[in-house]
Amino acid sequence: MTNSGILYIVATPIGNLQDITQRALDIFAQVDLIAAEDTRHSGLLLSHYGIKKPFFALHDHNEQQKADLLVEKLQQGTTIALISDAGTPLISDPGFHLVRKCRQAGVKVVPLPGACAAITALCASGIASDRFCFEGFLPAKNKARQDKLKNLLKEDRTLIFYESTHRILDTLADVELVLGADRYVVLAREITKTWETISGDSVGNLRQWLAEDNNRTKGEMVLIIEGNTTQAEEEFAPQAIKALQLISQELPLKKAAAIVAELYGYKKNALYQYGLDHFN
């Protein structure tokens, strides 16, 4: 351990190049090697700061194999800075396997704090910041995305997601469907860049407003959703309750509960009880 090098985890800007720290620049100047996701992209970034260093490519597809090689280099005394394309490495970016292996091997890991889109967006959202959960990217497919949101239906902490231009409207449609049209959300777009926009409204209204002009969904974005602030009766998705109500007007409640349970994956007895408590 004593002769081994150090792995520095270094955050880089998420848009505004002035958001680099002095300590990050000092570490870049000191290290032997910079491990980066996209070496061309990071080469341009570092040349902006006048830094020229050997790079090592470490991305999602090769991290598991290459991490061993980097640990070996560290054990031989090489000092390495790990960066990602933007923001904090490991946060929806590579680095976790490398850090874990370093710690298992007794190699010192030193984190350098800096930009992170999730935290930066949260700070400007006006949504509760005392308790939150970061969920990274939602699944791309509707069914999986809705299932994920269903699991978060009762979550009372603020929810933070990364999202992309081409999926944001579909995602908001699913949020509306599963969490209800009234749930308050904030979309923080192009943070620290020229077209930075931070917009908050009920998910129903925000989705409509975004759909009116595709400039409103361009660029990089963080979606922040207010936690569930209502009590136990919000246990079921609003559309499941609606379905239960409609079907129970045509069929016995027991039958309606069984159908809705099948459709939405809830327990039929719980739905039946809900119907008894609320519909009569």
132 binds ligand SAM (CB under 6 A): no
Determine the interface stretch with ligand SAM among 26-34, 46-54, 159-167, 253-261 (rule: CB under 6 A). 159-167
**Can you list the alpha helix ranges (DSSP code H) found in the chain?**
22-30, 39-48, 63-75, 96-104, 117-125, 142-151, 168-179, 203-211, 238-250, 253-264, 268-278
Token pair, residue 243, equals 């379905």
By CB under 6 A, name the one of 19, 63, 135, 163 that touches ligand SAM.
Answer: 163
Based on the shown chain and the rule CB under 6 A, indicate whether residue 193 belongs to the binding site for ligand SAM.
yes
Does 37 engage in binding with ligand SAM (CB under 6 A)? no
Of 25, 51, 57, 91, the one binding ligand SAM (CB under 6 A) is 91
Please give the residues from 254 up to 273 whose contact with ligand SAM meets the rule CB under 6 A.
Answer: none
CA-closest candidate to residue 167, choices 135, 146, 140? 140
Q: Are 95 and 9 in contact (CB under 8 A)?
A: yes
Least separation in angstroms between residue 118's CB and ligand SAM is 6
Residue bearing tokens 């739905």: 271
132-137/158-163 β-pairing: parallel
Among 23-31, 114-122, 225-233, 247-255, which window interacts with ligand SAM (CB under 6 A)?
114-122
Q: Is 162 in the site for ligand SAM (CB under 6 A)?
A: yes
Of 88 and 158, the one with the shorter C-beta distance to ligand SAM is 88
Q: Is residue 79 a contact residue for ligand SAM (CB under 6 A)?
A: no
Q: How far is the CB of 205 from ligand SAM (least distance, A)?
A: 21
How many residues would you count in the chain? Answer: 280
Dihedral class, residue 81 (left if φ above 0, else alpha if ψ from -120 to 50, else beta): beta
Under the binding rule (CB under 6 A), the answer on residue 253 touching ligand SAM is no
Placement of tokens 């959202």 in the chain: 125
Do 37 and 87 meet the contact criterion of CB atoms below 8 Å apart? no
**CA–CA separation, 201 vs 127, rounded Å?**
11
Provide, rounded to whole angstroms, the least separation between the CB of residue 91 and ligand SAM. Answer: 4
Interaction between residue 199 and ligand SAM (CB under 6 A) = no
Is position 234 an interface residue for ligand SAM (rule: CB under 6 A)? no
**Would you count residue 94 as binding ligand SAM (CB under 6 A)?**
no
Question: Binding ligand SAM by CB under 6 A: which of 30, 62, 164, 269?
Answer: 164
Q: Which is nearer to ligand SAM, 97 or 193 (CB)?
A: 193
- Degrees, nearest 5: CA angle 166-169-172: 135
Q: Which helix (H) or strand (E) holds 144?
A: helix 142-151
CA separation for the pair 257, 272 (Å, rounded): 5
CB of 255 to ligand SAM, least distance (A): 44
Asked if 267 and 186 touch (Cβ cutoff 8 Å), the reply is no
With respect to ligand SAM, which residue has the nearer C-beta, 9 or 71? 9
Residues forming the site for ligand SAM (CB under 6 A): 14-15, 84, 86-88, 91-93, 116-118, 162-164, 188-193, 220-222
